[in-house]
């Protein structure tokens, strides 16, 4: 079985420094790579982009960043929409839009449900990120995305599909919009940071009329009478339980510490919930 290229993107490591964004610009603007792609225009095209997502409410607010690019899908809609072999998938899994055969085929742009294909008005061709295939064919083992990233967001690996699915299961990887059914070869780690909800708060106790943070309080989250997960408050009394499905309904939060206990119900809708400062009460 042939080995194929895959890209793993770790959302938790991205700080929006945009060096990867600039690396793609540097590689393709003004540079033609015959058989792979024509040069990227200086304006109007972002072959990879970084989207900011926010969760929570003051003071427990998080911002995370998701890099997006061509997914090099196994069931690529752009390939289905193309005529005369203008889009083809290589044996190593990389999808290439032929810069000559694709001339005038704007339907290739419209076919991508991710919006990852751009139209070059001057050259009248569709274009997208080519997984740096020209560099990999020259012996590179990393894409420029990975080579330029100081925080280790990207990991390009060439493995058989069976091995890739083992990695997916082992590392809890996900793809964007699985409902599209395109079978992307770009996988995301820690995607729960943008597509799931959290519940959190701060635990305090009252000592001689003064509120004091409670460290190591045990927080239990349950649903329908069944315990789901536990967390422990930090030295500031803060705790957070993540990975909850949006619109998943009512949960019970129970907190116990050396000064007593606290219990409440919380409903998870479309947004994460910060429960505020929670005072332990003596049993």
- Residues 89 and 132 sit within 8 Å (Cβ to Cβ): no
How do residues 186-219 score in pLDDT, each as one tens digit? 999 999 999 999 999 999 998 877 889 999 999 9
Residue 79, SS3?
Answer: helix
pLDDT of residue 228: 97
Q: What is the C-alpha to C-alpha distance for residues 99 and 112, in angstroms, rounded to an integer?
A: 17
Dihedral (Cα; 34, 38, 42, 43), 10-degree rounding: -160
Sign of CA dihedral 141, 145, 148, 151: negative
pLDDT of residue 229: 97
Lowest mean pLDDT: which of 26-35, 49-58, 97-106, 202-211? 202-211
Q: CB-hemisphere CA count at 13 Å for 119?
A: 11
- pLDDT classification of 283: cutoffs 50, 70, 90: low
pLDDT of residue 206: 86
CA distances from 28 to 24, 34, 70, 112, 223 (A): 6, 12, 15, 21, 51
CATH number listed for the domain at residues 4-193: 3.30.70.20
* Encoded tokens for 31: 């540079």
Q: Which CATH class is domain 197-279?
A: mainly beta
Q: Which helix (H) or strand (E) holds 22?
A: helix 19-28
- pLDDT classification of 282: cutoffs 50, 70, 90: confident
Q: Once rounded to an integer, what is the mean pLDDT over residues 118-146?
A: 97
CA distances from 16 to 20, 50, 276 (A): 9, 7, 29
| Measured distance between the N- and C-terminal CA atoms of the chain, rounded to whole angstroms | 63
Q: Is the pLDDT of residue 155 over 70?
A: yes
Q: Once rounded to an integer, what is the mean pLDDT over residues 214-233?
A: 96
Alpha-helix runs per DSSP H in 151-222: 161-171, 192-195
Spans of all domains in the chain:
4-193, 197-279
Strands 60-69 vs 48-57: parallel, antiparallel or unpaired: antiparallel
pLDDT of residue 209: 79
CA distances from 31 to 53, 63, 119, 191 (A): 33, 35, 17, 33
pLDDT of residue 242: 97
Q: Is the pLDDT of residue 103 over 90?
A: yes
Sign of CA dihedral 212, 217, 221, 222: negative
Q: Check residue 11 and report its DSSP letter.
A: G
The mean pLDDT value of the chain amounts to 96
Give the residue, 210 or 105, on which the prediction is more confident. Answer: 105
139 C-beta neighbours (distance < 10 Å), count: 6
Q: Once rounded to an integer, what is the mean pLDDT over residues 113-142?
A: 97
Q: Once rounded to an integer, what is the mean pLDDT over residues 172-184?
A: 98
CA distances from 249 to 87, 130, 167, 222, 231 (A): 45, 42, 32, 12, 20
Percent of the chain at pLDDT exceeding 90: 95
Phi/psi for 80 (5° steps) reads: -65, -35
Model pTM score:
0.92
Q: Is the pLDDT of residue 50 over 80?
A: yes
Residue 145, SS3?
Answer: helix
pLDDT of residue 77: 98
């Amino acid at each position: 079985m042939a080995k194929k290229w895959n890209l793993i993107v770790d959302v938790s490591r991205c700080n929006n420094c945009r060096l990867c964004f600039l690396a793609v610009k540097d590689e393709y603007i003004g540079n033609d790579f015959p058989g792979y792609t024509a040069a990227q225009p200086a304006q109007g095209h972002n072959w990879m982009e970084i989207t900011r997502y926010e969760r929570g409410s003051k003071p427990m607010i998080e911002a995370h960043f998701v890099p997006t690019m061509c997914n090099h899908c196994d069931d690529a809609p752009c390939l289905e929409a193309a005529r005369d072999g203008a889009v083809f998938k290589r044996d190593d899994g990389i999808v290439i839009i032929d810069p000559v055969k694709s001339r005038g085929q704007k339907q290739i742009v419209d076919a991508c449900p991710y919006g990852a294909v751009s139209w070059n008005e001057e050259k009248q061709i569709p274009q997208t990120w080519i997984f740096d295939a020209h560099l990999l064919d020259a012996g590179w083992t990393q894409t420029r995305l990975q080579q330029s990233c100081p925080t280790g967001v990207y990991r390009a690996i060439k493995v058989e599909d069976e091995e890739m699915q083992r990695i997916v299961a082992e590392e809890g990887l996900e793809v964007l919009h699985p409902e599209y059914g395109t079978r992307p070869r770009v996988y995301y780690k820690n995607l729960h940071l943008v597509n799931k909800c959290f519940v959190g708060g701060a635990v305090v106790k009252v000592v001689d009329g003064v509120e004091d943070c409670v460290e190591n309080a045990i927080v239990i989250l349950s649903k329908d009478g069944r315990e789901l997960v536990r967390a422990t408050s930090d030295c500031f009394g803060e705790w957070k339980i993540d990975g909850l499905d949006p619109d998943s309904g009512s949960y019970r939060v129970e907190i116990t510490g050396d000064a007593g206990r606290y219990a409440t119900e919380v409903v998870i809708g479309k947004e994460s919930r910060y429960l505020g400062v929670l005072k332990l009460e003596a049993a």
